[in-house]
């Protein structure tokens, strides 16, 4: 009976009264992924991963554990650059994972379709920033992916990244008493040396190595270490026997070198990637500051004093004179203000720390230093502008930039989480 139901579902009959399965998108050893249409009015199409229970049981407890781990990891992750798990359905013989649809295919296929098999550096920056944003978010929630590779990075219809396949992910309960992971897993060409050598390791630092391999592939069009003999590949990795093409910029070379560091203790962490000078060269919404960075990409900008407010500016910001309601809910969802007595440097630092934890990146306006720290789908960044109310008091204006005013990105943004992260040590009062 279960087999009849499964066959009917593949022909387009409703799956448990909720989804209509369509064409096959891909298949693995134990699963098939289908394009599906939700029967709910106005719902977006989805992807349904179909797993056969008898096949999973025959493969041993490890395969069933992998599925449970994937579900547990994806359920705790809701980030624009992480493939979303909508729900899990099951019959007596099948398990159905209903997930976000990524019609753009995987990153490896996209690169393979290019004549050079690589991306221009500015495009590689955009792709890599989204990957970093997703992993910063995952690590902050105790999830290490452990199999970061282009095949597991999908693309949506707009070319935005979606990190997928959390079957090898490590959750906090995976750590041993020493606070480390001990299971050797992943794809050898992308796995960190300490993982391949079956040593205890930090999952986040292992993901950082995989990011370095992906960045190398994006810039060069081929793997840095590619050998069928894993022992030889480990030796090459420890000796850093790789060569980037001459067209790769010096900031990018330095970033690759910091990531492909065989010593995990000195390897650059994923959370530190956002402030690397390579990103500061191009992730700019302010053309004036962008031109300064373009001319001297490695120079740190000095913090410029915010402009003072006049009396009219202060009065116009009074809640009683707030006219944003005339422009609909969108503006209120996108903009927030708070008053602080903290120094500009301290305020920038705390906002940067909050961005790293919450998974967005930040840019400044009018000469204020910018801190790129990740991304939110449909939103280019959160911009910040600071104005001096008095010598000891600043007004900080935050705005979600990019996307359409009617999109869901601003509506989903966690303003309350940001308030909690900043706390009373920075914020004296929120406007309105």
CATH code given to domain 287-430: 3.30.310.80
Those residues whose C-beta lies under 8 Å from the C-beta of residue 3, and which sit 6 or more positions away, are 93
- Highest mean predicted confidence (pLDDT) among 32-41, 275-284, 368-377, 405-414: 32-41
Query: What is the pLDDT, as a whole number, of residue 194?
Result: 94
CATH code given to domain 2-100: 3.30.200.20
Structure tokens of 305?
A: 């004093």
> pLDDT tens-digit profile of 152-164?
999 998 889 999 9
> pLDDT tens-digit profile of 50-91?
999 888 888 877 788 888 889 989 988 989 999 999 999 988
Q: Looking at per-residue confidence, does 87 or 384 come out higher?
A: 87
Beta bridge partners of 395: 339, 387
H-type helices in 76-197, by residue range? 107-112, 121-140, 193-196
- Highest mean predicted confidence (pLDDT) among 22-36, 55-69, 258-272: 258-272
225-250: b (≥16 Cβ within 10 Å) or e: beeeeeeebbebbeeeebeeeeebee
Mark whether 106 is an active-site residue: no
Asked if residue 151 lies in contact with residue 102, where contact means CB atoms within 8 angstroms, the answer is no
Q: Which CATH architecture has domain 107-280?
A: Orthogonal Bundle (1.10)
| Inter-CA distances, 350 with 345, 346, 357, 360, 362, Å | 9, 6, 11, 13, 12
Confidence category of residue 411, pLDDT binned at 50, 70, 90: low
Rounded Cα distance, 147 and 210, in Å: 8
| Inter-CA distances, 261 with 128, 192, 210, 212, Å | 18, 9, 11, 9
- Highest mean predicted confidence (pLDDT) among 214-223, 294-303, 305-314: 214-223
From its phi and psi, is residue 382 left (phi > 0), alpha (psi between -120 and 50) or beta?
beta
Q: What predicted TM-score, i.e. pTM, was given to this entire model?
A: 0.64
Beta bridge partners of 49: 33, 97
* 300 class by beta-carbon count within 10 Å (0-12 exposed, 13-18 middle, 19+ buried): exposed
205 SS3 class: helix
Average the pLDDT over each of 111-115, 237-241, 309-313 and give the range with the smallest value. 309-313
Write phi, then psi, for 402 (nearest 5 degrees): 85, 175
Those residues whose C-beta lies under 8 Å from the C-beta of residue 319, and which sit 6 or more positions away, are 431, 432
Query: What is the pLDDT, as a whole number, of residue 378?
Result: 45
* Catalytic option among 44, 55, 106, 147: 147
Question: What average pLDDT does the segment 384-404 reach?
Answer: 71
Instruction: Confirm or deny that 336 is annotated as ligand binding.
Output: no
192 SS3 class: coil
Angle at the Cα of 398 (from 392 to 404), degrees rounded to 5? Answer: 165
User: What are the residue boundaries of the structural domains of the chain, listed by start?
Assistant: 2-100, 107-280, 287-430
Q: What is the rounded end-to-end Cα distance, in angstroms, of the chain?
A: 60
| Inter-CA distances, 143 with 152, 170, 352, Å | 16, 6, 21
Confidence category of residue 363, pLDDT binned at 50, 70, 90: low
Rounded Cα distance, 145 and 211, in Å: 11
DSSP H or E stretch at residue 33: strand 31-38
Question: Residue 113 pLDDT more than 50?
Answer: yes
Question: Residue 346 pLDDT more than 70?
Answer: yes
Question: What's 228-256 look like in SS3?
Answer: CCHHHHHHHHHHCCCCCCCCCCHHHHHHH
Rounded Cα distance, 99 and 167, in Å: 14
Rounded Cα distance, 135 and 288, in Å: 31
Angle at the Cα of 55 (from 53 to 59), degrees rounded to 5? Answer: 115
Half-sphere exposure of 258 (CA within 13 A, CB side): 14
Query: What is the pLDDT, as a whole number, of residue 3?
Result: 46
- Residue matched to tokens 């379709």: 113
> pLDDT tens-digit profile of 163-212?
999 999 999 888 888 889 999 999 999 999 999 999 999 999 999 999 99
Question: What average pLDDT does the segment 139-152 reach?
Answer: 94
107 SS3 class: helix
Rounded Cα distance, 267 and 65, in Å: 31
- Residue matched to tokens 């398990």: 95
Question: What average pLDDT does the segment 29-54 reach?
Answer: 91
Confidence category of residue 380, pLDDT binned at 50, 70, 90: very low
* 166 class by beta-carbon count within 10 Å (0-12 exposed, 13-18 middle, 19+ buried): buried
Asked if residue 391 lies in contact with residue 310, where contact means CB atoms within 8 angstroms, the answer is no
């Amino acid at each position: 009976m279960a087999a009849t139901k499964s066959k009917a579902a593949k022909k387009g009959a409703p799956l448990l009264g909720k989804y209509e399965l369509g064409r096959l998108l891909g298949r693995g050893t134990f699963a098939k992924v289908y394009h599906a249409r939700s029967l709910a009015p106005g719902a977006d199409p989805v992807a349904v991963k179909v797993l056969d229970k008898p096949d999973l049981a025959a493969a041993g407890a490890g395969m069933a554990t992998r599925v449970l781990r994937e579900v547990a990891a994806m359920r705790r992750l809701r980030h624009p650059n992480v493939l979303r798990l909508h729900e899990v359905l099951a019959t007596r013989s099948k398990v159905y994972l209903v997930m976000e649809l990524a019609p753009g295919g995987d990153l490896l296929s996209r690169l393979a379709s290019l004549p050079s098999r690589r991306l221009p550096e500015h495009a590689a920056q955009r792709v890599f920033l989204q990957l970093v944003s997703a992993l910063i978010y995952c690590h902050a929630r105790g999830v290490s992916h452990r199999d970061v590779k282009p095949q597991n990075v999908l693309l949506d219809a707009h070319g935005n990244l979606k990190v997928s396949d959390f079957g090898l992910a490590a959750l906090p309960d995976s750590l041993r008493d020493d606070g480390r992971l001990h299971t050797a897993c992943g794809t050898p060409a992308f796995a960190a040396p300490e993982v391949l050598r079956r040593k205890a390791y930090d999952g986040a630092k292992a993901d950082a190595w995989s990011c370095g391999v992906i960045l190398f592939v994006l810039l060069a069009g081929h793997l840095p270490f590619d050998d069928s003999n894993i022992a030889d590949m480990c030796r090459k990795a420890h000796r850093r026997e790789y060569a980037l093409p001459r067209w790769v910029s010096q900031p990018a070379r330095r970033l690759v070198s910091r990531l492909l560091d065989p010593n995990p203790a000195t390897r650059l962490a994923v959370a530190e990637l956002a402030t690397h000078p390579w990103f500061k060269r191009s992730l700019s919404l302010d053309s004036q500051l962008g031109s300064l960075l373009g001319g001297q990409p490695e120079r740190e900008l000095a913090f410029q004093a915010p402009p003072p407010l006049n009396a009219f500016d202060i009065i116009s910001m009074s809640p009683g004179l707030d006219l944003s309601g005339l422009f609909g809910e969108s503006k209120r969802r996108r903009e927030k203000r708070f008053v602080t007595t903290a120094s500009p440097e301290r305020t920038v630092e705390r906002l940067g720390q909050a961005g790293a934890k919450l998974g967005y990146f930040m840019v400044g306006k009018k000469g204020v230093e910018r801190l790129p720290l990740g991304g939110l789908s449909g939103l280019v960044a959160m911009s910040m502008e600071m104005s001096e109310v008095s010598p000891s008091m600043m007004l900080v204006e935050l705005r979600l930039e990019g996307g359409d005013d009617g999109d869901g990105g601003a509506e989903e943004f966690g303003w309350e989480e940001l308030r909690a992260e900043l706390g009373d040590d920075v914020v004296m009062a929120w406007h309105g």
